Structure 1
Amino acid sequence: MRFTTEDLLRVTFAREPAPLMELELALAALQRSDLPPVFGRWQQALRRTFPRGARPLLELVPPSGRGPLFLDPLSRGLDDGLDQVLSAPAGFVRSELVRVRAAYRRPVTGWVHGLAGQDRDAWRVLTEALCTAYDSLLASSWSGVQSAFDAERAWRTRLLADQGIRTTLAGLVPGARWRGTTLEFNWPEEAEFALDGRGLVLLPSMVWSRWPMLAVRPEAAAILVYPAVSPLPLLDEPVGTAPLAALLGSTRAAALTLLTRQRTTTDLATELSIAKSSASEHAKALRAARLITTERSGKAVQHSCTPLGLDLLAGAGGPVTA
């Protein structure tokens, strides 16, 4: 992704999570077979309870999450998102349906054909499917999503102030790196995109766990969707009002606090009263967020806070020594 100076000056954070963006990514996650273990039970529960009335959406959204762009606007709440979907220009709708069909071999059913032709009944079915899917997949968790989003946004904003835009962007996902003014990510395919002065909006997702995704809409800033530090399955943990727990989830926040002193994976598991495999998963996530480092000492693996992790603890009012 190539930046101009103007683009770097126009990087912003979304003001709030976008319900239909999260919904489309949840629908994609529902269909994948390569989710991290932390998503396992969440995915199984969604598959068991996924309502029949939402099934038409699976004709539009592939497992990659790159469904029609008119379906997942950056909105101020669900009602605003639905209004944007229903007011999408007919030409944009048709071109996006053609793109998804060609790229992912999605079926051209009578219903999809009706959407392309602006058939009123087809769009009524779409609206009902979106509402039904949201109620089933996200509604009960939305307050947690909002809290985690606010904590993530506050942390990234502080990181931006402390370490600058290059470090902030490179820290969004593991493996991101700069080559001059080009930011490279590990993507499943070769792709190159020039922002050309349009700017970039950063949008963390609580349901997407894979590579970052870029959404480009006509006459608007591009949107970079990236996996949040804490995914939705961890938001079911009781987080209370602690800002660090809202960002990381209770268990990861406790793990980070413990790692102000070097500890092994076994130490973490014992002190947090969790399985060693779970402790390893939490350590992996904290390491991916550059909050801890890991090194091998003989047969043991030792973890400890990075300066960024210590700074996060200090900013949240937590201990910086242990």
Structure 2
Amino acid sequence: MLQLISPLGAGPLFLDPPSHDLDEGMDQVLSTPRAEARAELHRMCAIDRPLTLWMRHLADRDRDAWQILKQAVLTGHAALIAEAWPRIRVGFDAETAWRARILACQGLHAALTGLAPSIRWHGMTLEAPFPRDLELTLHGQGIILQPSLFWADHLLAAPQPDGRLLLIYPAVTPLPLRNTSTPDGPLSALVGTTRAQALRLLVRQHTTTDLARELAVSPAAASMQAKILRDAGLIVSQRDGKAMWHWCTALGLDLLVHGRA
């Protein structure tokens, strides 16, 4: 894997496509067209990677070379990511909810300039520190903001095949170093321990069944807790077929932020 990844944080775009889970991402990696793989590997070598024999085989879509890549990704995930994944997901969800709150309340300029230090607007151009000169022009296809809980340096920019620009930025949400139960605090004292836990979970959408499983209570009890939070304006709920989905409101997110502080 280190043959493909630069110390600057750059890597071939086909190696980490935006996806919902490991299986979907792995399928996207393995289905990379030959022309795209070749272009991305040549781009990486132009930055600071030596063109190794294995990389040549990847560029030629050699089956064995891509199986080695698959095993490298899966092994790396199992060794480095899998055990911590629940905490990573919680941090990711909290960060995206917080960033969406900034976007809704303060607008696009504030949301983008707050991604990392030293970012500034110069007219209609967003300028940010970067190890080398790079100019990217948008063509109306939009930007995907993706926080990383592992990267703490400059923004990473990755144009996508559909024309959108993927911006990876350091998350401001801290990642707990170990699994611990959330201590009781002002939020628990205010709304109760179970409802405080439910509110923390609902920075990401959950069905009533999902919420019951996470809280280790019955679906009826989870529905009751959701109703109390909904009546207080801390969450909203929406029915989709037989499922009822719940998620935090802006007020609920503010309460979580101030309670944590």
Fold conserved between structures, TM > 0.5: yes
- Provide, for residues 107-154 of structure 1, a one-character-per-residue CA deviation record: whole Å limited to 9, x for no partner: 322221111111111111110010001111111111111101111111
Q: CA deviation at 1:318?
A: 3.8
Write the distance in 2 (CA, Å) between the matches of 1:138 and 1:171.
27
Residues 1:230 and 2:170 aligned together? no
CA RMSD of aligned residues (A): 2.5
| Residue type of the alignment partner of 2:178 | D
Closer/same/farther in 2, CA of residues 160 and 315 from structure 1, 3 Å limit:
farther
Q: 1:316 is matched with which residue?
A: 256
- What residue is the counterpart of 2:141 in the other structure? 198
Using the alignment, how far apart are the partners of 1:124 and 1:226 within structure 2? Answer: 30
**Preserved CA contact (<8 Å) 2:157 2:167:** yes
Structure 1 residues 150-204: Cα deviation after superposition (integer angstroms, max 9, x where no partner): 1111111111111111111111111211122111112223322111212100000
- Provide the secondary structure at the position in 1 that maps to 2:50: coil
Q: Is the 8 A contact 1:67 1:100 kept in 2?
A: yes
1:98 matched residue in structure 2: 42
User: Structure 1 stretches of 5 or more lacking a match?
Assistant: 1-56, 247-310
1:222-279, CA deviations, whole angstroms, 9 ceiling, x for partnerless residues?
10000001354x44363634749x9xxxxxxxxxxxxxxxxxxxxxxxxxxxxxxxxx
Is 1:215 matched with 2:155? no
Higher relative contact order (CA 8 A, sep 6+): 1
| Alpha-carbon distance change, 219 to 318 in structure 1, aligned in 2, over 3 angstroms | closer
Q: Which residue of 1 aligns with 2:83?
A: 140
Q: Percent same amino acid among aligned pairs?
A: 43
User: Residues 94 and 173 of structure 2 are in contact (CA less than 8 Å); yes or no, is this contact kept in structure 1?
Assistant: no
- 2:23 aligned residue: 79
Residue type at the aligned position of 1:154 = A
By how many angstroms is 1:313 displaced? 8.2
Does the C-alpha gap of structure 1 residues 317 and 180 become closer, same or farther in structure 2, counting only changes over 3 Å? closer
Paired residues of 1:61 and 1:67 also in contact (CA < 8 A): yes
User: Is 183-192 or 219-228 further displaced after alignment?
Assistant: 183-192
- Residues 85-112 of structure 1 deviation map (CA, whole Å, 9 limit, x = unaligned): 01111000001111111211x2322221
C-alpha contact (below 8 Å) 1:187/1:211 kept by paired residues: yes
Superposition pairs for residues 102-113 of structure 1, below 5 Å?
102-104=46-48, 106-113=49-56
Q: Which deviations, in whole Å up to 9, do the C-alpha atoms of 1:27-51 show, x marking residues without a partner?
A: xxxxxxxxxxxxxxxxxxxxxxxxx
For residues 181 and 102 of structure 2, the distance between their equivalents in structure 1, rounded to whole angstroms, comes to: 22
CA gap of 1:185–1:210, structure 2 versus 1, over 3 A, is same
Contact 2:155 2:169 in 1 (8 A): yes
TM-score where L is the length of structure 1: 0.57
Give the AA of the match of 1:84. Answer: Q
Q: Which residue of 2 aligns with 1:166?
A: 109
Structure 2 SS opposite 1:58: coil
Deviation readout 1:56-105 (Å, 9 max, x if unpaired): x111111112111111100110000000001111000001111111211x
Whether the 8 Å CA contact 1:93–1:116 is kept in 2: the answer is yes
Query: Secondary structure at the residue paired with 1:316?
Result: helix
Q: Do 1:207 and 1:231's aligned partners in 2 also have CA atoms closer than 8 Å?
A: no
- For the 8 Å contact 2:87–2:179, the answer to whether it is kept is no
Structure 2 unaligned runs (5+)? 183-196, 204-250
Contact preservation (8 Å) 1:313, 1:319: no
CA distance in 2, matches of 1:121, 1:190: 36
Letter in 2 for 1:175: S
State the match for 1:114 in structure 2.
Answer: 57
Q: Give the letter aligned to residue 88 of structure 1.
A: T
Larger relative helix fraction:
1
Distance in 1, Cα, partners of 2:129 & 2:170? 13
